Amino acid sequence: MQPAQAEIIAIHALQFVMQDETLCERFMAITGLTPTEIQNNVADSGLHLGALEFLLQHEPDAAAFCEATELPPGTALVAQRLIGGEPE
């Protein structure tokens, strides 16, 4: 996986979280971010990575994300490690 592909997956993770009311509320509660802060920082790769890490903290959420985006299981974790600077 290339870094650009990992970033696209992370952007999709943020979209996935923001489109689900329950996930969105939980993400904001955990991060302390407001809707305005998220909107103002939507292009920030750190926010994308945060959304991806958020999904990976709860296996059913990660599985739902992979299913919705038609990613093979484990792809989100590989993307997170690549963006976060960890070896694959």
Which run of H or of E encompasses 6? helix 3-19
Across 14-25, average pLDDT: 95
| Residues of the chain by 3-state class (helix, strand, coil), percent to 5 | 75, 0, 25
* Closest to 4 (Cα-Cα) out of 45, 55, 57, 56: 45
Across 26-47, average pLDDT: 92
What are the sequence ranges of the domains in the chain?
Answer: 3-83
- Percentage of the residues of the chain whose pLDDT score is greater than 70: 95
Over residues 44-83, the pLDDT tens digits come to 888 999 999 999 999 999 999 999 999 998 888 888 888 8
pLDDT class of 38 with cuts at 50, 70, 90 = very high
Task: Determine if the pTM surpasses 0.95.
Answer: no
Which run of H or of E encompasses 71? none
Helices first, then strands: H and E counts in the chain: 6, 0
